Structures are given as C-alpha cells and as structure tokens.
Structure 1
Amino acid sequence: MSAVVIILALIVLINVTFAVRFIVDVVKHREEIKKEPGNGIMLAFSSTIIFFFSTFGVSDFAISSIFYRKAKLVSDKKLPGTLNTQCVIPVAVMALAFITVINVDIKTLVVCIVAQIIGAYIGPRFVVKLSPKVIRRFIGVGLVIATMFILAGKFNLVPSGGTATGLYGSKLVIAAICLFVYGALNNIGIGSYALTMVTVYALGLNPVVAFPIMMGACTFSVPIGSMQFIKYGEYSRKITLFTSTFGVLGVLVGVYLVKGLDVSMLQWVVAAILLYSGVSMLINEFKASKANKESQHSAA
C-alpha cells in the first residue's frame, strides 16, 4: 500500500469520525437548531458560493467572517468554532481531489500535516476562553494580514515560488513551525490558506504544491479542532449542516468543472472586501473600547 493511499484512507477516517460526532450533536440539539438564525435557501446558496471560491484558495474563513457578521447569523463568540466546523467536509473533498492529481513530496506533505494537527489540537483549549472582544481583534488583524498577502502577491513583492515539489533540511523545519502556528490560528478564525500559500512560495516550492499541502493539512487539523468546538458547543450547528452539504457541491464544481477559472480580478475584489472589513472591525472595536473607558471614567 502506497503512502498516498494511506493518507487518503486516513483523511476518510478522521472526517468520518468528525461527521459522526457532528451528526450525534445535531440530533441531540435538533430543537435548538430550528431556533438558530438563517434562511435555508440563503444558507444553501452562500455555502455553495463560499466553498466554490475556497477551492481556488480564496479563504472561506475570511469571506464567511464578513458574511456571517453582516447577516448576524452567528455571535462573535461562536464565530471561530463555526468557521472551523463548517469547512471540515468541504475541505476533505478538496484534499482528496488535490492530493490525487498534484505531485508533492510525501515527506513534506506528512510533516506539514502533522505540524498543523498539533497546532489545531492545542488551540481550541485556549480559544473558547477568549472574550468576544479579543476574538474580534484577532479576526480583524487576520483579515488585514490576509489582504496584505494577497496584495503582496499581486504586486510581486513576495517570491512567486519555484519548481520544487518537496522541502528538506532547514526549509522543512521552517515549514513545520509555520504550519504549527497556522493550525492554532485556524481556531481563532484566521484562515491558513493565504499564509500557507505565501510560505510555500517563499520556500521555493512550485506554487501549485500549495493546494495539496493547504487542503491536506487542513483536512486533518481542522476536524481535530472542530471536534473540540463541538464538545464545548461553541459553533453554529445550522450553518455547519448546510455547508457540509451544499459547500461540497461548490467544491465539486470548482475542482472538476472550472479548473481554468481566471480569479485575478476576483482576488482584487476579495482584497478590497477583506481590507475594508478588517480595518472597520478594528476601528469599531477601538471606538467601543474608547467609549467603554470614557463611560467608566465618567462613572468614577
């Protein structure tokens, strides 16, 4: 049995485990789900679109953060958990597709996957203890950082990558450390796609190798962290239910039907949206913090 077959089998195993825990939780809280905000048709449509673009590396974390907050579908407290749980099944489909069609060094893939799993496993234990204010600040900074990476690539300010399909020595160690951090960041609502892509480019790998690494690492690390969020109940069950179904449809279209889609203009639009959302979120948080201090000062 080849290493690739083993990895694919493990992807199926861990995601089936997540699916079982999620289904048990949904059945247990089915009455609560009916009371959660969100129209079924809207969620079906948005899930398909979000994960269609996610297939091309456009962060579903970033887009979802903007949409869910604007539509008031989930509280800031439950946003990180929702961002993680909603993408588990769609990302598993991406990983299975990309790992089978793109050539990547198995050792590099395995090291990156393991590093991100460890980061994701540790993260939720601390994230659920954070206040909504801290989470908003993290997400705001994350959106701005994601925008900077996109713009840096558009203006050729970061390396465009090389032709290698694997990493060795110190470069592999650097990649492992970065993926560990990205796994932890996933749990506070900061997506790892853009970060992983830039890391891959900077280390001299063929840019296309970013896809199996991104999806492969996430499809192991995100379920690990997501099962922690399910345990604590810190996520939207309704949103996750719809993305686990209709998000997969978006992925299948993205992977198998429109691989040649030119997303250059889309990247500019997404960059503008992310920058606006991230900056406005941070400004609003600063204003709220300032108003709170003034209120406390007046009361004193």
Structure 2
Amino acid sequence: MEKIVLVLIVIINGMFGFKFIQDILKNKEEMKQEPGSNIFLAISSSIIFFFSTFGISDFAISTILYRKKKLVSDKKLPGTLNTQCVIPVAVMALAYISVIKVDPVTLIVCIVSQIIGAYIGPRFVVKLEPKIIRKFISMGLLIATAFILAGKFNLVPSGGTATGLSGAKLVIAAISLFVYGALNNIGIGSYSLTMATIYALGMNPAVAFPIMMGACTFSVPIGSMEFIKYGEYGRKITAFTSTFGVIGVLVAVYLVKSLNVSMLQWVIAAILLYSGLSMIIGDIKAKKAEVAQA
C-alpha cells in the first residue's frame, strides 16, 4: 500500500510538472520579464522550503516576502503560493514516507480524509466566520503547546511511540484531517493542526510529517493545474522553487530524520507556539486596521 501511495504521488505531481513545463516553454519571454533576481530567488526558495519541511507555513513566509519585494501581484499571489510548493512538497512526501515508518492504513485514511475535506469542505466552511474559526484554532494550538511543554517538564504524562491508529482514534484522526482539508480553503494551514492531532493521539511526533506532507501533495497539484491553465501565477518564482526549493527540503528532511523524539517534541512545541501566536497577532493587526480605516 505504501508503494502504491508513492507511485500515485509521482504520477499526480508528474502531471503537474508536464503542464508547468509546457506553460513556461510557451511563455518563456513573458517569464523573463517577471521581477526578482536569480540569486535572490534561489536563496529564498531554499530557505522557505527548508522551514516548510519542519511544518512552518511556506504560504505565510512567501506572502510576506513576495509582497515586500513586489515579486508578484496580489491577483497572482494565490496561484503562485500553490504552484510554487507542488514539487517541493512532493519531494517532502516521498522522503518522509520512505524514511519515517507509519502504518499504511493510517496514512491512507488521513490522506483521503484531507483530500475529501479540501474538495467538499468549502461549501460548509464558507458559511462560518473566518475570524471565529481562527480564534478557536489559535487557542487550540496554544493549548497543544502547553500540553507538550507540560509533558516535557513532567507535569503530565507524555510520550507516544505508536506509528498507527485504530478504532476510535483512527476515526478522530480522519474527522480532524477532513476538517483541516476544508480549512485550507480559507487560508488556515494544516501543518500545525496535524502535528497537534498526531501528538494528542499518542503517536510518534515524527509520524506527523509523512501524514501532513502526503495529504498536501495530493490536494495541491489539482488546483495548481487550474492556475497554470489560466496563467494566474508567477512562472519565474515557481521555476526557482521547483529546483532550489527542493534543495532546502532535502537538507531539512535529513535533519528531521536524525532528530530524536525528545528534540522533535521541542521543535513541534516551538512551531505550534509560533503558529498560534502569529494567528492571534494577525487578528489584532487586522482589527486595528479596520478601526483605523473606519
């Protein structure tokens, strides 16, 4: 089953790669006119996806960087954020699934659940207030951080060595990943949420990586091919992230593979804390901006 997943990752992302190469060959002159020095894009691509491999949102980092440097218009930003991560995330998924052991059934259930959530979830999610959702999620991430730290300081039992789930825990994981897939469509990343869920269910923290990367590498390419179809993305940025971004991924994967579970728990706690606080700070800034505008 694991081999089937790996083959499907190659096929689906290979389809994206074929469409992308076709498009840049057709529009190579237009791509040359796009802003951004080659050296800057090479370095930034490696750094962005180095951190992304640890679960830190490449969407968030890229949005800040590309807007500040005026590398892509706001109209093309959503498409760029999606297309640029397809190949690096595929490499992440292939590497993690190959080097980090996870129960195949658990992996498949989680991947399928997130794909379904990403596909049919928006029709339900759009009815909810994004601000309310973000508040609950930010608090949830901070609570998850507190839980991990409490375990590290022996305030509560901690640990978790399981590489698979069954029964009620597998159902909880499936429902959670379904929800996370839906939330991706309103701009809430699933990396930190998946980490928190995996940890809470008593699994080895390292198992979060093949699960969250595996889920994303199936759902993102489909939408990205639509952005390519309509030309609503940054071709130059995507070309650099598809090459130099992969270098950052491979370096980070080696580090994750060599980290012991105790160290990885500290890394995950830091990521969850960063994600939760950044969401709260973002909401505060948005509220101040609304007041100032009014």
Interval containing the TM-score (normalised by the shorter chain):
0.7 to 0.9
Question: Which amino acid in the other structure matches residue 286 of structure 2?
Answer: E
Structure 1's 216 and 116: CA in aligned 2 closer, same or farther, altered over 3 A?
A: same
- What corresponds to 2:111 in structure 1? 113
Aligned length: 284
The TM-score, its normalising length taken from structure 1, stands at 0.77
Question: Which amino acid in the other structure matches residue 109 of structure 1?
Answer: L
**What is the distance in 2 between the residues matched to 1:125 and 1:37?**
36
- What corresponds to 2:68 in structure 1? 70
Is the Cα contact below 8 Å between 1:124 and 1:229 reproduced in 2? no
Is the Cα contact below 8 Å between 1:144 and 1:274 reproduced in 2? yes
- What corresponds to 2:290 in structure 1? 289
Matches within 5 A, 1:46-85: 46-85=44-83
> What's the offset of the Cα at 1:138?
10
Question: Which amino acid in the other structure matches residue 195 of structure 2?
Answer: M
> What's the offset of the Cα at 1:110?
0.6
Q: Percent identity?
A: 66
**What is the distance in 1 between the residues matched to 2:174 and 2:268?**
30
- What corresponds to 1:92 in structure 2? 90
Is the Cα contact below 8 Å between 1:55 and 1:255 reproduced in 2? yes
**Structure 1: which 5+ residue stretches go unaligned?**
295-300
Question: Which amino acid in the other structure matches residue 156 of structure 1?
Answer: A
For 1:208-267, what per-residue CA distance to the aligned partner results, in whole angstroms no more than 9, with x for missing partners?
111111111111122123223333444322221111110011112222367446685897
1:215 aligns with 2:213: yes
Structure 1's 244 and 211: CA in aligned 2 closer, same or farther, altered over 3 A?
A: same
How big is the alpha-carbon RMSD for the aligned residues of Structure 1 and Structure 2? 3.7
> What's the offset of the Cα at 1:64?
2.2
- What corresponds to 1:7 in structure 2? 5
> What's the offset of the Cα at 1:96?
1.2
Question: Which amino acid in the other structure matches residue 12 of structure 1?
Answer: V
Question: Which amino acid in the other structure matches residue 150 of structure 2?
Answer: N
> What's the offset of the Cα at 1:113?
1.0
Is the Cα contact below 8 Å between 1:139 and 1:190 reproduced in 2? no
The TM-score, its normalising length taken from structure 2, stands at 0.79
**Structure 2: which 5+ residue stretches go unaligned?**
none
**What is the distance in 2 between the residues matched to 1:34 and 1:152?**
48
- What corresponds to 1:297 in structure 2? none
Which of 16, 25, 28 matches 2:26? 28
Secondary structure in 2 matching 1:182? helix
Q: Name the stretch that deviates more: 76-85 or 216-225.
A: 76-85
Which of 37, 41, 45 matches 1:43? 41
Question: Which amino acid in the other structure matches residue 289 of structure 1?
Answer: E
Q: Name the stretch that deviates more: 257-266 or 78-87.
A: 257-266
- What corresponds to 1:104 in structure 2? 102
- What corresponds to 1:242 in structure 2? 240
> What's the offset of the Cα at 1:47?
0.7
**What is the distance in 2 between the residues matched to 1:178 and 1:246?**
33
Is the Cα contact below 8 Å between 1:139 and 1:188 reproduced in 2? no
> What's the offset of the Cα at 1:35?
3.5
> What's the offset of the Cα at 1:273?
8.9
Question: Which amino acid in the other structure matches residue 14 of structure 1?
Answer: I
**What is the distance in 2 between the residues matched to 1:291 and 1:70?**
22
**What is the distance in 2 between the residues matched to 1:80 and 1:177?**
26
> What's the offset of the Cα at 1:170?
2.5
